[in-house]
């Protein structure tokens, strides 16, 4: 545990943007307290990422805990992303979980896309084909306004961190 705390503090001193992914067995409190170690060192460029927790379920790699999204929104000022690709490990589950994540209030998604996922060097089973990703984005542009949100069409790298 001390090594993890040391790493979090070092990330805080680095003054670089940090995406803090929730640990496989981390509670919501542990997840938020991990972010606090980074913030306490003066780095306020922290984004949380829900990517699934280990459960007894055997129909996906992890159990994507979308209930954590509104909980983070209530307890923290930090933005939260959802990674349905790693959170499920299965291409057929990425799209429905991405839709649900946006409906739950996620600030963004991390989705793996590959031209030939069946021959990808890693994570092919959870990667969408480009056409699937295009369809998903069209669906998300309908879902987001229904809950008072919008889909940003400009990459974050162009806008600058936190813009």
**Predicted confidence (pLDDT) per residue in 91-128, tens digit:** 999 999 999 999 999 999 999 999 999 999 988 989 99
Specify the 3-state DSSP secondary structure of 132.
Answer: helix
Listed as ranges, residues in the chain with pLDDT below 70 are 1-2, 59, 153-163
Specify the 3-state DSSP secondary structure of 50.
Answer: strand
Q: Which residues pair with 50 in a beta bridge?
A: 82
Question: Quick check: 69 and 106 in contact, CB under 8 A?
Answer: yes
Spatial distance between the Cα atoms of 77 and 86, rounded to a whole number of angstroms = 24
The two three-digit tokens of residue 63, written as one number: 């159990």
DSSP state of 52: -
The reported pLDDT for the residue numbered 155 is 53
Tell me the CATH class for 16-83+90-147: alpha beta
The reported pLDDT for the residue numbered 157 is 46
The reported pLDDT for the residue numbered 161 is 47
Spatial distance between the Cα atoms of 115 and 126, rounded to a whole number of angstroms = 13
The reported pLDDT for the residue numbered 151 is 87
Supply the Cα-derived Rg of the chain in whole angstroms.
16
Spatial distance between the Cα atoms of 141 and 93, rounded to a whole number of angstroms = 19
The reported pLDDT for the residue numbered 77 is 96
């Amino acid at each position: 545990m001390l090594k993890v705390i040391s790493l979090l503090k070092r990330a805080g001193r680095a003054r670089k943007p940090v995406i803090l992914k929730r640990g496989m067995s981390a509670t919501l409190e542990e997840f938020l307290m991990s972010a606090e170690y980074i913030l306490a060192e003066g780095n306020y460029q922290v984004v949380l990422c829900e990517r699934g927790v280990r459960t007894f379920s055997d129909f996906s790699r992890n159990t994507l805990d979308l209930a954590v999204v509104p909980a983070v929104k209530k307890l923290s000022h930090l933005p939260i992303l959802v990674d349905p690709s790693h959170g499920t490990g299965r291409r057929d589950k990425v799209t429905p979980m991405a839709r649900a994540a946006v409906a739950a209030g996620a600030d963004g998604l991390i989705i793996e896309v590959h031209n030939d996922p069946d021959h990808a060097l890693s994570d092919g089973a959870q990667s969408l084909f480009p056409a699937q990703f295009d369809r998903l984005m069209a669906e998300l542009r309908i879902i987001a306004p229904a809950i008072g949100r919008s889909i940003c069409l400009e990459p974050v790298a162009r806008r600058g961190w936190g813009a």
